[in-house]
Chain A
Amino acid sequence: MFFHIVLERNMQLHPRFFGRNLRENLVSKLMKDVEGTCSGRHGFVVAITGIESVGKGLIRDGTGFVTFPVKYQCVVFRPFKGEILEAVVTLVNKMGFFAEAGPVQIFVSKHLIPDDMEFQAGDMPHYTTSDGSVKIQKECEVRLKIIGTRVDATEIFCVGTIKDDFLGVINDPASTA
């Protein structure tokens, strides 16, 4: 799920950036530092949408670095148990398959793939039904439901299922091509 929230961060800025463009430098550094990171609490920071406030800088003793407390608005993505996501399959093996929904990786184990789909090895491993009408392979898109998340301090990993109504392949580039 996506959230628009306000976060705070202490930015250390090198003295060479001081000057007319201090604020711009601060913001661009913030973007570089924060966007794409993941925290267990808030999820993945997708994008910074605005700066709320930049506090007073504090000069570090010894170094010339200055610490600014910056409050910024950002869009975060945090997967939840029970959430339905659309993801792109990245890897298929006999244990199941891996998929990605943006920054988050999801594993769907074999027993959470419908029983009528069988694993087919080969140079393009895939799961397919006996009549071959549905095929899960690399690069195809699936809709899945998250049944478990593992949230570490800097990483989120999910386990999903496609064994439910309306879940499964939604678009297969190989078949349309």
Chain B
Amino acid sequence: MEISVPVQKTVVLEPFIKLVKLVARVFYDNYTTVSDNQQKSARSDSRGTAVVVLDALTRRQWVREEDLAKDLRSNAKQLRKILRYFEEQKLVMRVHRKETAKRAKMYSAAVAATTDGRAEDKVNFHTHSYCCLDYQQIYDMVRCKLDRIKKKLKDELEDKNTVQEYGCPNCQRKYNALDALRLISMEDDSFHCENCNGELVVECNKLTSEEVVDGGDNAKRRQREKLKVLLQNVEDRLGPLMDQINRVKDLPFPGVESLHAWEARAAMAARANGDLNPNDPSRTQGGYGSTPMPFLGETKVEVNLGEGKEDVKSEGGDSSQKILPPWMIKEGMKLTEEQRGEMRQEAKVDGVSGGASKLSDDKKSAMGNGDDKDLKDEYLKAYYAALLKQQEVAEKPTQQESAGVSTSDSLLATTSSDRQVGMKSKREEEDEEDVEWEEEAPVAANGDYKVDLNVEANEEEEEEDDVEWEEG
């Protein structure tokens, strides 16, 4: 996890601002919140507002929409409309949340931290909306838009892949070639409207609809020339935008921060600067929960595949010394003091550096180092001795069984560790070991009615081990 997040990191890079400004001028210059059918006086003409709003947003990060409206001296309602439109267009991120006094304070604290001072303290307890530019998405969106424009023009120029449209001159109904089957009439070989049975006419390309059909090569050629000019124009005018897109392409995108993250970070930055803000979110009790938590940056998980060993070690480091349970300790086992549960004190003292235990889980034993190899050797010897004894006293099946179960675990642990270290001398011993097990298993099975499952499990484990050995 990364603890410190430098404030400068999210400062928007210059090219992105330029990109947004270009986009605003190219695509949203003519955008009005007033729809066509409700023409209003010139006073309410909102043309160009969209550009202003986008420009204003490039100078801010998260901003409360009311504040933005105030700054722009524009109608809050209109602004909201524009922002909603931009949200649909994937230009801005918006967050709506119900505001309590504390939250609002936190926001103003954040504002005070980023812009020096002057945050309004008077806030209502309403739902507030916040918005912020989403540069990554803007980039994607613009590319998509450009692509679609180009494709459309190209298709129309080549007359390719376009489904022909037909219109009824009487009732203005529109059809396309996919309706052809229903439109064809028996009397003559033209299409007829389903509604009024009027003869349909071919609709021309939308882009060049002024020059209507009436056939002839001439019209077609003229149309094509016009399209060509159009394409040329588009390429000229969109040139700067495309250049900007290309420039931005390889740059890292400004990170997308959630509102919460931004607030907290801004407040932290303010604290780092030394001004004690009473509205600091990390100080106000009960801001996002009851306990004040310093914001440590966004949680980052780094997965390092190369150096897995260290990770594993750190994970289980504390409990490296395990004490053998008394039921596992048998006569004739040579155990270290630690394993017998004595000298606990010391085990804790040398903690990680001392040899890892024998009976820890696979992970642990997998990273066994040179020190505990010796211990393992010792342990193995002890184990064989115990095994031999058990075979001698095979007439006590229950006891033997328990030993079998207990030792199988340790065997697994040791074998895997050996494999890790790559000790070849061990192999023969291990093989012998396997043979012994196979002999022993049925005995146990005969002896005790309960243990069938266990024995089988042991066998399986052994077999798995064998296979792995062959591979290794």
Contact = CB atoms under 8 A, between A and B. Distances in A.
B181 A93 contact: no
A161 interface: yes
13 contacts: A95-B189, A95-B190, A95-B202, A96-B164, A98-B180, A111-B162, A115-B220, A147-B163, A148-B178, A150-B178, A157-B178, A159-B163, A163-B159
A92 B164 CA distance: 16
Contacts of A9: none
Interface residues of A, number: 25
B191 interface: yes
Contacts of B179: 150
Interface in B214-267: 217, 220
A107 B189 contact: no
B228 to A, nearest CB: 16
A94 B161 CA distance: 20
A93 B189 contact: yes
Interface in A133-170: 147-150, 157-159, 161, 163-164
A59 interface: no
A150 B161 CA distance: 15
A158 B176 CA distance: 11
A110 B161 CA distance: 13
A163 B181 CA distance: 21
The secondary-structure label for the interface of chain B is mixed
Nearest to A151: B178
B180 A107 contact: yes
A109 interface: yes
A31 to B, nearest CB: 27
Contacts of B217: 115
A147 B181 contact: no
Contacts of B388: none
B184 interface: yes
Interface residues of B, number: 19
A40 to B, nearest CB: 14
A112 interface: yes
A125 interface: yes
A159 B191 contact: no
Contacts of A148: 163, 177-178
Contacts of A125: 189
B218 to A, nearest CB: 13
A23 B195 CA distance: 49
Contacts of B163: 109, 147-148, 159
B161 A109 contact: no
A107 B181 CA distance: 8
A95 B165 CA distance: 11
Interface string A87-99: 0000101111010
B132 to A, nearest CB: 39
Contact of B184 (A93, A147, A158, A163): A93
Interface string B174-188: 001111110010000
Instruction: Indicate the member of B160, B177, B178, B184 with the most A CB atoms within 10 Å.
Output: B177
A110 B165 CA distance: 11
Interface string B321-344: 000000000000000000000000
A111 B178 contact: no
Nearest to B165: A109
